């Protein structure tokens, strides 16, 4: 028999309904229901492609047009994708909470398209490009032909996506802001991330250390799940709207 019980605790709903500051960290799982591949699930991007050949600066310098074309393809996929109910529920939750910060590892821009306002894009945004030499930002790239990498109009340098690659530091100010908020949050949600990439994975743990009620929402318990207050098992596109509804109805009761 199927149970109609909510997949989350009453405590989580109560804490959210009474929270002044809520932080959220999202990962690729949040966009899975929009048709965008995650990295580490079966069939995910890192099972088909080698990060070492695509997502680091040496790989880019060795083969710029290959890397540019790979990002161009991902850009087309995310550009054609639509936000899903999970993205929309987070945008709506933001309106219910006095101070709300959404930290995302995703580069697909779907949170902004769903209406979220305060977003920290820790790993960059695939829509933006810049020149590796003069750092000038470069608007949308045309089709990139094999052996003909896109170059900067200004100085002729190679154009790269504005995303964080392996071996690169995260933008310091964004990371500091995210960490600072985690220390002050009353509730922190970690949604659709495998929690294996640091420093992003540290945010829920920082929040926990500083006294927040921390829940992860994921199809499976992650490596850090045992250190959090709660693991909510399920798809974010289903769980987040349910959680939002529960918070709103508790507030009304
Ligand atoms: P991963 O692919 O590592 O993890 C995706 C997580 O989402 C897994 O834990 C899944 O169980 C979960 N998941 C899948 N579908 C879901 C759904 N519908 N609802 C809820 N959870 C779901 O992706 P990230 O944790 O985002 O970094 O990966 C972190 C970073 O690793 C990425 O930002 C990227 C990658 O290398 C860079 O490129 C710098």
pLDDT digits (tens, 9 = 90+) for 132-152: 999 999 987 888 888 899 999
d(CA 122, CA 148): 30
68 close to ligand 1 (CB < 6 Angstrom): no
Residue nearest to atom 15 of ligand 1 (CA): 29
Q: What pLDDT sits at residue 184?
A: 98
Question: DSSP state, 84?
Answer: -
Residue nearest to atom 2 of ligand 1 (CA): 39
Query: Do residues 186 and 212 touch, judged by C-beta distance below 8 A?
Result: yes
| E-only strand ranges, the chain | 21-26, 99-104, 119-121, 124-131, 137-138, 159-163, 187-191, 213-218, 230-233
pLDDT digits (tens, 9 = 90+) for 54-90: 888 999 999 999 999 999 999 999 999 999 999 999 9
Q: What pLDDT sits at residue 142?
A: 81
Q: What pLDDT sits at residue 46?
A: 77
218 close to ligand 1 (CB < 6 Angstrom): yes
Residue 135, C-beta contacts closer than 8 angstroms, at least 6 positions apart: none
pLDDT along the chain (253 residues), means of 10: 76 98 98 95 82 86 92 93 98 98 98 98 96 92 86 95 94 97 98 96 98 98 97 98 98 92
d(CA 192, CA 220): 9
Catalytic annotation, residues? 123
Out of 168, 194, 243, mutate this one to test ligand 1's pocket (max ligand atoms within 8 Å of CB): namely 194
CA of 235 to the centre of ligand 1 (A): 12
Separation in Å, CA 226 to CA 9, 85, 215: 16, 27, 10
**Nearest-atom index, ligand 1, CA of 123:** 39
The dihedral formed by the CA atoms of 136, 138, 139 and 144, expressed in degrees to the nearest 10: 180
Out of 8, 29, 215, mutate this one to test ligand 1's pocket (max ligand atoms within 8 Å of CB): namely 29
CA of 29 to the centre of ligand 1 (A): 5
Q: What pLDDT sits at residue 1?
A: 42
User: Structure tokens of 36?
Assistant: 């965008």
**Nearest-atom index, ligand 1, CA of 44:** 2
CA of 40 to the centre of ligand 1 (A): 6
CA of 249 to the centre of ligand 1 (A): 30
CA of 116 to the centre of ligand 1 (A): 19
Q: What pLDDT sits at residue 45?
A: 81
């Amino acid at each position: 028999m199927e149970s109609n019980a909510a997949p989350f605790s009453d405590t989580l709903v109560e804490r959210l309904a009474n929270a002044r500051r809520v932080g959220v960290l999202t990962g690729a799982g949040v966009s899975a229901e929009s048709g965008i591949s995650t990295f580490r699930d079966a069939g995910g991007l890192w099972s088909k492609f080698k990060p070492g050949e695509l997502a680091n600066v040496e790989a880019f310098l060795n083969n710029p047009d290959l890397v540019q074309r790979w990002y161009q393809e991902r850009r087309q996929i995310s550009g054609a994708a639509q936000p899903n109910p999970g993205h929309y529920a987070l945008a709506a939750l933001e309106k219910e909470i006095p101070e709300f910060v959404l930290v995302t590892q995703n580069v697909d821009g779907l949170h902004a398209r769903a209406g979220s306002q305060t977003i920290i894009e820790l790993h960059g945004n695939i829509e933006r490009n810049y020149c590796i030499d003069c750092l000038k930002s470069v608007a949308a790239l045309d089709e990139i032909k094999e052996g003909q990498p896109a170059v900067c109009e200004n100085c002729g340098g190679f154009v790269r996506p504005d995303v964080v690659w392996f071996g690169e530091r995260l933008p310091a100010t964004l990371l500091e802001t995210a960490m600072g908020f985690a220390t002050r949050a009353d509730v922190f949600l970690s949604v659709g991330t495998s929690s294996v990439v640091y420093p992003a994975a540290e945010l829920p743990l920082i929040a926990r250390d500083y006294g927040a009620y921390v829940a992860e929402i994921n199809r499976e318990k992650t490596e850090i799940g045992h250190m959090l207050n709660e693991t909510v098992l399920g798809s974010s596109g289903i769980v987040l709207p349910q959680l939002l509804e529960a918070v709103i109805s508790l507030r009304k009761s």
